[in-house]
Amino acid sequence: TQLLEQSPQFLSIQEGENLTVYCNSSSVFSSLQWYRQEPGEGPVLLVTVVTGGEVKKLKRLTFQFGDARKDSSLHITAAQPGDTGLYLCAGVTNFGNEKLTFGTGTRLTIIP
């Protein structure tokens, strides 16, 4: 069973600060997705990274896939209250039967 550990589990910071969220596993993934879930909503896809070492930027959010495709990070610059939510990574394995495994989640609160 693949396990995706996210850290930190909870993070509360002031508006304007920077932060990094980590997603780690001992398993190799063919791709990795990041979702954000706001209170009272379902998760919404932010980005998919596919290539080892890949970096993708989405405005103030920077996503990186580890070289070995076992881990990923999400860096947010100048956090805003609208960034508040539950961030979920999800690893995709495709060894004849594709599976999507969700991480443990990071609950982020940005204080105005």
Partner 1 sequence: ETGVTQTPRHLVMGMTNKKSLKCEQHLGHNAMYWYKQSAKKPLELMFVYSLEERVENNSVPSRFSPECPNSSHLFLHLHTLQPEDSALYLCASSQGTGTGENTGELFFGEGSRLTVL
Binding mask 24-63 for partner 1 (x = CB under 8 A): ---------x-x----xxxxxx--x---------------
For partner 1, the closer CB: 35 or 65: 35
For partner 1, the closer CB: 5 or 75: 5
Q: Does 88 bind partner 1 (CB under 8 A)?
A: yes
Tokens of 32: 């990795």
3-class state of residue 82 by DSSP: helix
Whole-number minimum distance, CB 48 to partner 1, in Å? 7
Whether the Cβ atoms of residue 35 and residue 45 lie closer than 8 Å to each other: yes
Cα angle 89, 74, 29; round to 5: 45
Q: Does 100 bind partner 1 (CB under 8 A)?
A: yes
Quote the DSSP letter at residue 43: -
d(CA 40, CA 56): 27
Among 4, 23, 49, 74, binds partner 1 (CB under 8 A): 4
Q: Which residues bind partner 1 (CB under 8 A)?
A: 4, 33, 35, 40-45, 48, 88, 90, 92, 94, 96-98, 100-105
